[in-house]
Amino acid sequence: MSHPTTNTVVPSICPFCGVGCGMGIQVCDGKVVGVEPQLNHPVSQGKLCTKGWSTPYAVDPIDRITTPLIREGDSFRPASWDEACNTIVEAINAAQQEQGPDAVGVIACARATNEDCYAAQKFARAALHTNNIDHCARICHSPSVAGLRQTLGSGAMTNSISDIALADLLVIFGCDPTSNHTIIGGQIIAAKLAGAKLLVVDPRSTRLAQMADLHLQLRLGTNIALINGLLNIIFDNGWEAREFLDSRCENEAALRRKVEDYPPERVAEITGVPVDKLIAAAKMYSQAQRAMLTYGMGITQYISGTNNVIAISNLALVAGQIGRPGTGINPLRGQNNVQGACDMGALPNVFPGYQDVTDSALRQHFERAWKCALPAQKGLTSLGMTQATLDDSFRCMIIMGEDPVVTDPDQNHVQRALQALDMLVVIELVMTETAKLADVVLPAAAFSEKSGTFTNCERRVKHITAAISPPGEARSDWMILGELATRLGYNGMQWQSAEAVFDEMASLNPLYASMSYAKLIEKSGLQWPCDAAHPDGTPLLHSERFSRGKGRLIAVDHSEIDELPDEAYPLFLTTTRLHFHYGCGSMTRKSPLLERETPVGVLFIHPHDADRLNIRAQDPVRISSRRGTVETRAMLSDELPPGTVAMPYHFKEAPSNQLTNNAQDPVTKMPELKACAVRVEKIEVQEAMPG
Amino acid sequence: MRSYQLENLSQLRSHLGRRGALFEPRQAEDGGELHWLPMVDSAWPHEVEETPLLPLTSPKSFFFKEREQLFYFDGKQFVETLPDIEPQTLFGVRSCDLCAIAYLDQFFAADPYYQKRRQATLLVGIDCLHPCDGGFCRSVDAGPFVREASADLICHRQADGHWLLIASTEAGEEAVQGLELKAANEASLRQRDLRQKEVSEKFPDTSYLHAAIKRINNSDGGVAHTTWDALGLQCLTCSGCTNSCPTCSCFAIFEQTTDEGVARQRCWDSCYFEAFQREASGHNPSGEAGQRVKRYWEHKFSESYAATFGRYGCVGCGRCEKVCPGVIGVHSVTKRLATAS
């Protein structure tokens, strides 16, 4: 057998959520044999969550795709890179000749590197001549990007993670960081133990809600009513940050008028939160010295997602809880590089650095840099591409490392669309449910097998190096896209190294202007904006002025969820994430321990609802919505309010997205993943047992 | 047991490095963290030892692998896959970790995979002359100086900057054959004993730890289940403490299809996982997080385990406190237990 011990430890970044914890990859004879936390990492300080600790399984050579694969009937055959690339290029050329450049598109990946994502959007724009480029930020924080850009001018976490220790009040709005951003969750617990106050706003009685000084257990989808109610109380009592509003914000009068429509009694009725708690929360937040607000999918995954984010922004601006250490508006980003994928312009409306594709001066700037003509119209979103496929105007899609069949709303709709494509190319580590539908599958290198940079949710860009070689013929995404671009006749993507990609990107992205690999390594990462005025980066945004100048208050109204429960579908379904799994589970479910921890699919139901439906723990249940049906097991949980059931979306065996609603936020096309109406039935044993 | 005078550690280290692979705590190239890494040809980097060098990763994975194959079935027969290990040296192991290895030696006494690795390994300990950050070996009889039975060779840096080398086992004695060493005198051994007392006095107060141990053993009113539940709420199930603990030895078994057939593998497990003790029926004797926290600390500090192993299951390295995101490492927990009503 091989050498018994660790040969080396390569510093890297955890490949899961947006916290971006430091991780040493233990390598023995060219294999990843373990990982260890990094004590001197600025964010994680020696800690990892269970997903992080399980990383060796996530990138294990078992089940990895190691050569290009081409569909033959119902199965795949190995192919050379040459043949696979030619097949793809032929299909792209055919589709574009018949239906124009916008008949094709690219889904980039929030867990690929900045270099990969920069290459993906450049490939779409320069090689395919379309702005049809998007990624899964669409279904997590697109409303944060859109909402905060309107109010502050910059759609990212305003403060640094280390500010948690500086706050005297922590507000946790619509998220459970102890499950999904565990190291941040732990820092919140530590701050609470050290004396900070904790205010949790969540329909679920989460772990932090159980520790909180105050928990507002609002009804699903009533965020705006709640916040307008808090603002009403704040204005009514003169608790607003007068000087801050006068000097730093605009449009106060319109907001004041709007929130007059939200007196505490009305808000209590809409949200289910009693008036005394509303008053206590309004006072707590507005009167705190330093209140730091974090939020998650409980704000964004609604058809009111963008307005929810604007409401959050209104609250922080009125209370003056922004622009200082220990305060701010802090969206918790889901993927290790979802901030970076957005920064890179893997979005249909912006170039790298959020520069508008419809602005002709900016476009000309990129045309000169990339030496090609660029499309002037905004492109399609990811769900726009699937819809266009069903409308026969879209024919060829390249998906990098995402599994929309499991993770996007309304699974049947997604599957129909992907099957209708002329050509589906999936660049992946393993055979996901989406890859199984592909015409060509290309083998990708995992994070431990490539160099590049990741940008975490506090805008910190960190450099990683390859710990081992990719298995078989797997390659970094930017190399794959560069090869395809050349074959399509575009020669502007023939980079020789990840660093060359980064340098080109930094020359075009004002937020990254003064960054280089050497500097990132020397400084242990840099937070954007990093430019001539901020050569060492910017840990705190908006300290003197907002990115857009004045902070803009925007009056928004409560709106109902698209699909409310009714007689046929009497329960609310909300979707959640488990601490033990990540996304579609293609990485975490390779760990035998994480896989053991929960059944393959689960419905959480309040004991009262379960009792009424004669359901006991572990009983088989059938959940139906207007779009589909799922069978799984019930687990009783009093963390949910009665009337609301919850499912995690990790399990292909019991996909919650059979049920979810595809209704979308009009601004960002964010689907309403957090709420739809369902019916739950117990499956009788005779029926459940075969034969 | 014999003792020798030693000019410097580099001389010993180079000599031992010629016997086979030698691993030592050193900083990786990025200059940051300490890891167990193979010796490189430069001199021993910590000749003038001022701060104790305890990598965040314990050395247990040299013997008890994080993941390993036990055997495979090729369709016809079962084939055992015992590791084939060349002689190796762990150089610069601290007393806490050596006590932990001695503890694991008992737990894995009949485990051929562990023993194969362990028996091929020479352990060279170094006395710690200062408490390390969060370390409390003194309070749990695991340091700061190396216990004689726990290492093959013990290095002690004397006040004059020279080293005292103690060969405490036959393997240790054999390993230094070929080095021209002068015998140490009795006085240096006595000096070492005096020095240990001096160093021990430098440790911070851990009276809370002793109070907590009493309560865990129910001799001081026990611990209310509400206290365990409050601690359980803080457990984020990361498994960091059990992975990092040098004495934690629980493992899970699973099957994996490989090129050779179906392989039976094992991996480190954690008693903090809800499914760790869940039974096939769904019944779980430790279904609540508080019960799991209680069990973990009982395993570390209960007198009944101490009776079996001859010592507590905690060696005072303090790693669990460093890696725990939920603030329930050993110091946090024992402080809470000491003061809980």
How many CA atoms, within 13 angstroms, populate the side-chain half-sphere of residue A173? Answer: 29
- Asked if B22 and B94 sit in the same domain, the reply is yes
A33 to chain B, any CB pair closer than 8 A? The answer is yes
Specify the number of domains making up chain B. 2
Distance CA A405, CA A394 (A): 18
B136 to chain A, any CB pair closer than 8 A? The answer is no
Contacts of A49 in chain B (CB under 8 A): 236, 238, 325
A5 to chain B, any CB pair closer than 8 A? The answer is yes
Distance CA A656, CA A623 (A): 9
Which of B200, B222, B238 finishes a domain? B200
CB atoms B84 and A38 under 8 Å? no
Contacts of B30 in chain A (CB under 8 A): 11
CB atoms A6 and B30 under 8 Å? no
CB atoms A593 and B252 under 8 Å? yes
Residue of B nearest to A194 (CA): B327
Structure confidence by residue, pLDDT tens digits, A534-583 = 999 999 999 999 999 999 999 999 999 999 999 999 999 999 888 899 88
Contacts of B66 in chain A (CB under 8 A): 33-34, 56
Structure confidence by residue, pLDDT tens digits, A313-344 = 999 999 999 999 999 999 998 899 999 999 99
Residues 6+ apart with CB under 8 A from A583: A335, A403, A406, A407, A650
- Is A177 within 8 Å of A157 (Cβ atoms)? no
What radius of gyration, in Å, describes the C-alpha atoms of chain B? 21
Residue linked to tokens 């009665």: A642
Measured at the CA of A72, the angle between CA A66 and CA A75, to 5 degrees, comes to 60
Residues of each domain in chain A carrying CATH 3.40.50.740: 69-137+336-527
pLDDT of residue B49: 58
A190 to chain B, any CB pair closer than 8 A? The answer is yes
Residues of each domain in chain A carrying CATH 3.40.228.10: 158-331
Domain of residue B290: give its range.
207-249+270-339
pLDDT at A1 over 50: no
- Asked if B23 and B162 sit in the same domain, the reply is yes
Does residue B72 sit within a domain? no
- Asked if B183 and B213 sit in the same domain, the reply is no
- Asked if B290 and B148 sit in the same domain, the reply is no
Mean pLDDT of chain B: 93
Contacts of A592 in chain B (CB under 8 A): 252, 254, 267
Rounded to an integer, the average pLDDT of B49-62 is 83
B71, B80, B251, B265 from B261: Cα distances, Å:
10, 13, 22, 12
How far is A6 from chain B, CA to nearest CA, in Å?
A: 7
- Asked if B163 and B243 sit in the same domain, the reply is no
E strand map for A135-268: 169-173, 197-201, 214-216, 249-250
Distance CA B39, CA B15 (A): 12
User: Of the candidates A131, A135, A127, which has an alpha carbon nearest to the alpha carbon of residue A484?
Assistant: A127
Question: In chain B, what is the straight-line distance between the N-terminal and C-terminal CA atoms, in Å?
Answer: 49
Does residue B259 sit within a domain? no
- Asked if B7 and B122 sit in the same domain, the reply is yes
- 3-state DSSP call for residue B226? helix
Question: In chain A, what is the straight-line distance between the N-terminal and C-terminal CA atoms, in Å?
Answer: 48
Structure confidence by residue, pLDDT tens digits, A122-151 = 999 999 999 999 998 888 888 998 999 999
Helix (H), strand (E) at residue A34: strand A31-37
A620 to chain B, any CB pair closer than 8 A? The answer is no
Residues 6+ apart with CB under 8 A from A150: A310, A552, A554
- Asked if B7 and B153 sit in the same domain, the reply is yes
CB atoms A182 and B325 under 8 Å? yes
Residues of each domain in chain A carrying CATH 2.20.25.90: 8-58
- Asked if B222 and B318 sit in the same domain, the reply is yes
Contacts of B61 in chain A (CB under 8 A): 5-6, 34
- Is A551 within 8 Å of A317 (Cβ atoms)? yes
Does residue B257 sit within a domain? no
Residue type, B73: F
Contacts of A52 in chain B (CB under 8 A): 238
Residue of B nearest to A207 (CA): B233
A7 to chain B, any CB pair closer than 8 A? The answer is yes
Tokens of A325: 């250490």
pLDDT of residue B46: 66
A39 to chain B, any CB pair closer than 8 A? The answer is yes
Structure confidence by residue, pLDDT tens digits, A347-368 = 999 999 999 999 999 999 999 9
Rounded to an integer, the average pLDDT of B108-134 is 96
Structure confidence by residue, pLDDT tens digits, A92-116 = 999 999 999 999 999 999 999 999 9
B64 to chain A, any CB pair closer than 8 A? The answer is no
Structure confidence by residue, pLDDT tens digits, B282-331 = 899 999 999 999 999 999 999 999 999 999 999 999 999 999 999 999 99
A637 to chain B, any CB pair closer than 8 A? The answer is no
For the structural domain made of A571-688, what CATH number should be given?
Answer: 2.40.40.20
Helix (H), strand (E) at residue A83: helix A81-99
Q: A165: exposed, middle or buried (C-beta count within 10 Å: 0-12, 13-18, 19+)?
A: middle
CB atoms A193 and B327 under 8 Å? yes
pLDDT of residue A691: 42
Residue of B nearest to A62 (CA): B258
**pLDDT grade, residue B40 (50/70/90)?**
confident
Distance CA A483, CA B137 (A): 58
B234 to chain A, any CB pair closer than 8 A? The answer is yes
- 3-state DSSP call for residue A8? strand
pLDDT of residue B1: 84
Structure confidence by residue, pLDDT tens digits, B144-190 = 999 999 999 999 999 988 999 999 999 999 999 999 999 999 999 99
Yes or no: domain A69-137+336-527 corresponds to CATH 3.40.50.740: yes
pLDDT of residue A474: 97
DSSP assignment string, A175-205: --HHHHSHHHHHHHHHHHHTT-EEEEE-SS-
Residues of each domain in chain A carrying CATH 2.40.40.20: 571-688
- Asked if B138 and B236 sit in the same domain, the reply is no
A66 to chain B, any CB pair closer than 8 A? The answer is no
pLDDT of residue B206: 94
CATH number of this structure's domain A158-331, picked from the four choices 2.60.40.1180, 3.20.20.370, 3.40.228.10, 3.90.1200.10? 3.40.228.10
Instruction: Determine the longest span between alpha carbons in chain A, in angstroms.
Output: 75
| Residue of B236, B256, B322 to mutate, testing the A interface (most A Cβ within 10 Å of its Cβ) | B236
Distance CA B171, CA A227 (A): 72
CB atoms A4 and B88 under 8 Å? yes
- Asked if B188 and B41 sit in the same domain, the reply is yes
In B99-128, the residues whose Cβ lies within 8 Å of chain A are 117
Q: What percent of chain A has pLDDT over 70?
A: 98
Residue B235 phi, psi dihedral angles, 5° rounding: -80, 115
**pLDDT grade, residue A78 (50/70/90)?**
very high
Does residue B14 sit within a domain? yes
Yes or no: domain A8-58 corresponds to CATH 2.30.110.10: no
Instruction: Determine the longest span between alpha carbons in chain B, in angstroms.
Output: 66
Rounded to an integer, the average pLDDT of A256-263 is 98
Its sign, for the CA torsion A613, A616, A622, A624, is: positive
- Asked if B102 and B243 sit in the same domain, the reply is no
Q: A266: exposed, middle or buried (C-beta count within 10 Å: 0-12, 13-18, 19+)?
A: middle
pLDDT at B50 over 90: no
Residues 6+ apart with CB under 8 A from A504: A118, A495
ipTM value: 0.95
- Asked if B102 and B29 sit in the same domain, the reply is yes
Its sign, for the CA torsion A414, A420, A424, A429, is: positive
pLDDT of residue A3: 39
CB atoms B32 and A38 under 8 Å? yes
**pLDDT grade, residue A2 (50/70/90)?**
very low
A603, A636, A690 from A684: Cα distances, Å:
16, 18, 12
CB atoms A593 and B269 under 8 Å? yes
CB atoms B32 and A62 under 8 Å? no
The minimal CB distance from A24 to the residues B35, B66, B234 is found for B35
Does residue B45 sit within a domain? yes
Does residue B149 sit within a domain? yes
User: Of the candidates A685, A527, A430, A472, which has an alpha carbon nearest to the alpha carbon of residue A160?
Assistant: A527
pLDDT at A690 over 60: no
Q: A455: which strand partners?
A: A461
What radius of gyration, in Å, describes the C-alpha atoms of chain A? 24
How many CA atoms, within 13 angstroms, populate the side-chain half-sphere of residue B261? Answer: 14
Query: For A4-13, A465-474, B67-76, which range has the lowest pLDDT when averaged over its residues?
Result: A4-13
- Is A47 within 8 Å of B324 (Cβ atoms)? yes
Rounded to an integer, the average pLDDT of A10-31 is 93
Structure confidence by residue, pLDDT tens digits, A389-436 = 999 999 999 999 999 998 888 888 999 999 999 999 999 999 999 999
Mean pLDDT of chain A: 94
**pLDDT grade, residue A649 (50/70/90)?**
confident
